[in-house]
């Protein structure tokens, strides 16, 4: 059964790639954290996949705002940074899963990891 996924990244190519890789689901996209917050004011999702560094509102700030609003879906932070670098730069960020963007170089592996998350 198709799940509703929101992919948030300021790079259109990354958004488009994820939309293709996850095409068996209903994938919406947003180009920054503020657009994601606006979208989530009016839509429900099963999974959020969000980048770290974006203009207007970065991923960690958007995640913190969503958790304050009671977000109860899994959140994947996908970035070029390690988990340690994210904590150093942004403090504790309440995401559920962390992937580096290198995972997108192996689309089938990435798709399987997302499927596994959605099954939990």
What are the structural domains of the chain? 4-119 (3.40.50.2300)
Q: What is the distance, to the nearest Å, from the Cα of residue 5 to the centroid of all Cα atoms in its chain?
A: 9
Query: What's the Cα-to-Cα distance from 69 to each of 41, 73, 92, rounded to whole Å?
Result: 10, 12, 17
What is the residue-level pLDDT of the chain in tens, covering all 120 positions? 899 999 999 999 999 999 999 999 999 999 999 999 999 999 999 999 999 999 999 999 999 999 999 999 999 999 998 888 888 888 889 999 999 999 999 999 999 999 999 998
> In this predicted structure, what is the pLDDT of residue 91?
85
Pairing relation of β-strands 47-50 and 26-30?
A: unpaired
7 CB-contact burial (10 Å; exposed 0-12 / middle 13-18 / buried 19+): buried
Two tokens, residue 14:
């990354």
> In this predicted structure, what is the pLDDT of residue 89?
87
């Amino acid at each position: 059964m198709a799940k509703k996924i929101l992919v948030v990244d300021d790079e259109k190519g990354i958004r488009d790639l994820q939309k293709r890789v996850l095409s068996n689901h209903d994938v919406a996209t947003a180009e920054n954290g503020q657009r994601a917050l606006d979208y989530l004011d009016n839509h429900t999702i099963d999974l959020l996949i969000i980048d770290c560094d974006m203009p207007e509102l970065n991923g960690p700030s958007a995640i913190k705002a969503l958790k304050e609003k009671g977000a109860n879906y899994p959140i994947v932070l996908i970035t070029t940074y390690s988990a340690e670098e994210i904590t150093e730069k942004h403090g504790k960020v309440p995401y559920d899963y962390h992937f580096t963007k290198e995972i997108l170089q192996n689309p089938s592996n990435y798709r399987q990891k997302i499927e596994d998350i959605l099954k939990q």
